[in-house]
A and B are shown apart, each in its own frame.
Chain A
Amino acid sequence: MIDQQIGALFVQIAYIGASAAFILGLRGLTKPDTARRGMQLAAFGMLLAIIGTLLNHEIVSYQFIIIGLVVGSAIGLPMGLLVPMTAMPQRIAVSHMFGALAVTLVGIAEFLHYRDVPGGPGVVKMIALGFETLFGALTITGSFMAFGKLQGFISGQPLTFPGQKLINAAVFFGAVGLYVTLVLTQSGGATETGLIMFAVMTVLALVIGVTLVLPIGGADMPVVVSLLNSYAGLAASATGFAIGNNILIVAGALDGASGFILSILMSKAMNRSFANVLFGAFGGEKAAVSAKSSEGLTTRSVTPEDAAMRIGYARNVIIVPGYGMAVAQAQHAVRELAELIEKRGGRVRFAIHPVAGRMPGHMNVLLAEANVPYDHLFDLDEINEEFHACDVALVLGANDVTNPAAKSDPGSPIYGMPILNVQDAEQVIVVKRGMATGFAGIENELFYLDKTSMLFGDAKSVLSQVVTEVKGL
């Protein structure tokens, strides 16, 4: 008995230590030079929590635990080591799926367990259990759909059909209705119908995950991934309430807060209201857009030689990378060009829009991988005033985030969206494959300005040519 109490005390101490490690670890992430050590501390906290749990007196056999740990490590380790940085959004989406799967299975197991307990789980635990299973299940399928869209085996196009909203609403209210009914009827003890209701609710939640993400286009994935991050965290927190475990509550709350903040930031950067995000209704309404037509306007196209002349003699260059740069795998050519300019005495900075890339902060990781020092990377607020003083702004595979219509044309669908003030630069060079529009499907006035030169072609090969030319100057 005393042994058991000491054991329980040790478990609690391990959990408290782990909670502190998580919070301090995340605090490390507020600065790039403390980030790595912070995350190592968090990993240590996780180890502590796992060891503490293994000593839990409820555990009577270890074979299933060991099998699970071994299988999970065997899958997780190669995933962590081998996934390329460009595939990071998919990897995050699929890991939300695994996290939600664990949480949902725990929720189901706990619900079944309480059916054998006289008196039932009680109101609070039933609320938590139901919430955990509902959000966990919808995050499983939602994340899988996001994974599929990012990986490309599910069409990135928004899929819509007539009556979709009605069906979605019916499924949603069905699941919530069952959830409320479960809380009202099962809290004090199990009834016959409880199991069926619980099963149907879980299935409906799985359906919600699919219908939530299906109508959303590939370019909106940063919001979706952030939102699912938040859901996975909230579900983990609910698990903590359901089994009375504080560390789950803490870690889940941290994850939920993080996903929540990133969702708000992303939705702002993509010009969507937060209400839109909360209800997952984003991306659905993309009606016919009455954007200004490009007729009568002409662009000026230049050769890599011309571009090299301008870039090579520029004193102050700002590079605006977009996802097109990552698709063309042009990061290393960009870094080479930047180093060349610096060697010639110029200054180079990178302007990173919050939605450049396929998830929050993705572009920074891709450039860091190409050895661009992080003190060259600036976010929108930091650099927007600097375009005035810059000789050449080099836009690489970015489009909508540089469109001045977001500021000047109230009729534009992207009006109000924060953009990079590329049009303020002395001259602008845009590297682009062709004149196709960005994901908003509208013309970019920037391309038709007198100061703008278009450099058509694949970003990687065009930049390599520019680099060769600059070397020869």
Chain B
Amino acid sequence: MTALLTALGAAAAFIAATTADTATAAASTTLVDAQIVEVYVFLLAAFTGFQIITKVPPLLHTPLMAATNAISAISLVASIVIAGAERPLFINIMGMVAVAAATINVVGGFVITDRMLKMFKKTEAPK
């Protein structure tokens, strides 16, 4: 845990440092602000994720993996933009393939997670 936080801290410091370089190079402060915020977002999300996921019981680790897999198919959002934006045709087609691949995970992932979770039942009350 401590090691992880140290590593994350180091990563943040590194990114912050490189961002500062960009600032001098591009002389664009708004850009830096946006990117620093992104680093915050990443760190807080990773920390939150770490806290919540350590509390998921081993009982549900397979559904957990199926679920996070479906959630990380959020790359669908990026794929959609590339498939539909004003770009060369072959890039739009790459975007289309990406949309299809991510959709497989979104649809399949949530369906299969639900199928699994549906099966977990408590002992029925004695009749």
**Complex-state Cα separation, A62 to B67, whole angstroms:** 28
Q: Which chain A residues numbered 78 to 97 have a C-beta less than 8 Å away from chain B?
A: 79-81, 83, 85, 88, 91-92, 95-96
A2 CB within 8 Å of chain B = no
Q: Helix, strand, loop or mixed for chain A's interface?
A: helix
Q: Determine whether the beta carbon of B95 is less than 8 Å from that of A352.
A: no
Question: A102, B76: Cβ atoms under 8 Å?
Answer: yes
Q: Are A68 and B65 in contact (CB under 8 A)?
A: no
**Separation of A262 and B66 alpha carbons in the complex (Å):** 12
Q: Mark B92-121, 1 if CB is under 8 A from A, else 0.
A: 111111111111111111111111111111
- Could you say which of A25, A96, A119 contacts B67, with CB atoms under 8 Å apart? A25
- Complex interface: chain B residues within 8 A of A72 (CB): 99-104, 106-107
- What's the minimum C-beta distance from A373 to chain B, rounded to whole angstroms? 4
Neighbouring A residues of B110 by C-beta, 8 Å: 39, 42-43, 46, 80
Is the CB of A226 closer than 8 A to any CB of chain B?
yes
Q: How many residues on B have C-beta within 8 angstroms of the other chain's C-beta atoms?
A: 89
Q: Known contacts A53-B80, A99-B69; is A249 also within 8 Å of B102 by CB?
A: no
Instruction: Tell me the A residues contacting B by CB distance below 8 Å.
Output: 18-19, 22-23, 25-27, 29-33, 35-36, 39-40, 42-43, 46, 49-50, 53-54, 56, 58-62, 64-65, 67-69, 71-73, 75-77, 79-81, 83, 85, 88, 91-92, 95-96, 98-99, 101-103, 105-106, 108-110, 112-113, 119, 122-124, 127, 188, 225-226, 229, 232-233, 236-237, 239-241, 243-262, 265, 352, 354, 359-362, 364-365, 368-369, 371, 373-377, 379
A-B contact pairs, 21 of them (CB 8 A): A23-B45, A26-B52, A46-B71, A56-B81, A59-B84, A65-B80, A65-B96, A75-B104, A77-B111, A79-B104, A80-B109, A88-B62, A88-B112, A98-B73, A98-B101, A102-B79, A105-B95, A123-B21, A229-B69, A254-B71, A364-B59
Beyond contacts A36-B118, A88-B112, A112-B91: 4 other A-B pairs, Cβ-Cβ < 8 A, are A76-B107, A76-B111, A95-B104, A251-B72
| Chain B residues near A (Cβ < 8 Å) | 4, 15, 18-19, 21-22, 25-26, 31, 34-35, 38, 41-42, 45-46, 48-50, 52-87, 91-124
